Chain A
Amino acid sequence: GESVGLHLPTLSVQEGDNSIINCAYSNSASDYFIWYKQESGKGPQFIIDIRSNMDKRQGQRVTVLLNKTVKHLSLQIAATQPGDSAVYFCAERTDGNKLVFGAGTILRVKS
Chain B
Amino acid sequence: DVKVTQSSRYLVKRTGEKVFLECVQDMDHENMFWYRQDPGLGLRLIYFSYDVKMKEKGDIPEGYSVSREKKERFSLILESASTNQTSMYLCASSLGQANSPLHFGNGTRLTVT
Q: How many residues of A contact B (CB 8 A)?
A: 24
Q: Is B101 a contact partner of A97 (Cβ separation < 8 A)?
A: no
In the complex, chain A residues whose CB is within 8 Å of the CB of B100: 97
A-B interface pairs (CB < 8 A), number: 54
Q: Is A98 a contact partner of B45 (Cβ separation < 8 A)?
A: yes
- Chain B: CB-nearest residue to A44: B104
Cβ < 8 Å to B, chain A residues 16-63: 31-32, 34, 36, 41-46, 49, 51
Contacts A/B (CB < 8 Å), 13 sampled: A4-B42, A32-B99, A34-B101, A36-B104, A43-B4, A43-B106, A43-B107, A97-B31, A97-B94, A98-B58, A99-B102, A101-B43, A103-B42
Q: Interface of B with A (CB < 8 Å)? A: 4, 31, 35, 40-45, 48, 50, 58, 90, 92, 94, 98-107
